[in-house]
């Protein structure tokens, strides 16, 4: 995981070299590092989206999962779950949580309910693959009711006849800049 100083160096470097300040979305950024924070925030998010649903407003969120290895050729673990709404970006720092977040999806947890709700449209590049890997890692195959991933919109599928784009390539097209995924200080 990134240390606070490494993360701020990466952000400072990115802002200097790519002038990313001009692309700030104005959304609130929330970083969740505990089970109680995850439970509270996703319960709150579900309530907000239910209010929109009552007003016949479509609930759309972006979802992405980032993975990391502990050692160079070791197993891959889910490190971050990112959920974006029109007002905020929620970063669930999975590798700070017990069993990389497995405890956050027990019973009727708010995160599990959020993932199961088909009326909340979850969009992303590679989202089906990301969520399948996450569910397998959390060992939820039998306990989570996706039934073919209702409420999931795979952005890659919308571009079937065009070149395949990952999130990095999509961001580069939007920002009209190249983006490096190089590691900083071994991270």
Q: What is the CATH number of the domain that holds 59?
A: 3.30.420.10
Most confident of 31-40, 62-71, 90-99, 142-151: 31-40
d(CA 85, CA 79): 20
Which two structure tokens, joined as six digits, stand for 144? 């989570």
Inside any domain, residue 154 = yes
Inside any domain, residue 33 = yes
Inside any domain, residue 180 = no
Q: 141: which strand partners?
A: none
Give the β-pairing of 59-69 and 120-124.
parallel
Assess contact for 128 and 152: CB atoms under 8 A: yes
Inside any domain, residue 16 = no
Q: How confident is the model at residue 43 (pLDDT cuts 50, 70, 90)?
A: very high
Phi, psi of 107 (to 5 degrees): 55, -130
This prediction's pTM: 0.68
Q: Higher-confidence residue: 42 or 3?
A: 42
State residue 49's pLDDT score: 94
Inside any domain, residue 15 = no
DSSP letter, residue 39: H
DSSP letter, residue 142: T
Inside any domain, residue 1 = no
Inside any domain, residue 2 = no
Q: Which domain holds residue 84?
A: 26-175
Number of structural domains found in the chain:
1
């Amino acid at each position: 995981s990134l240390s606070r100083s490494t993360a701020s160096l990466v952000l400072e470097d990115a802002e200097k070299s790519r002038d990313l300040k001009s692309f700030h979305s104005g959304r609130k950024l929330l970083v969740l590092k505990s089970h109680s924070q995850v439970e509270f925030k996703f319960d709150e998010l579900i309530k907000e989206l239910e209010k929109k649903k009552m007003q016949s407003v479509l609930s759309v969120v972006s979802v992405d999962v980032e993975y990391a290895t502990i050692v160079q050729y070791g197993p891959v673990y889910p490190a971050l779950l990112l959920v974006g709404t029109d007002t905020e970006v929620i970063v669930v720092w999975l590798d700070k949580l017990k069993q990389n977040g497995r405890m956050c999806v027990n019973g009727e947890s708010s995160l599990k309910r959020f993932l199961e709700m088909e009326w909340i449209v979850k969009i992303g590049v590679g989202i089906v693959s990301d969520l399948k890997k996450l569910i397998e890692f959390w060992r939820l195959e039998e306990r989570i009711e996706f039934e073919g991933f209702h409420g999931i919109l795979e952005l890659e599928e919308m571009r079937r006849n065009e070149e395949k784009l990952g999130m990095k390539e999509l961001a580069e097209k939007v920002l009209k800049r190249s983006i490096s995924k190089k590691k900083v200080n071994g991270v």
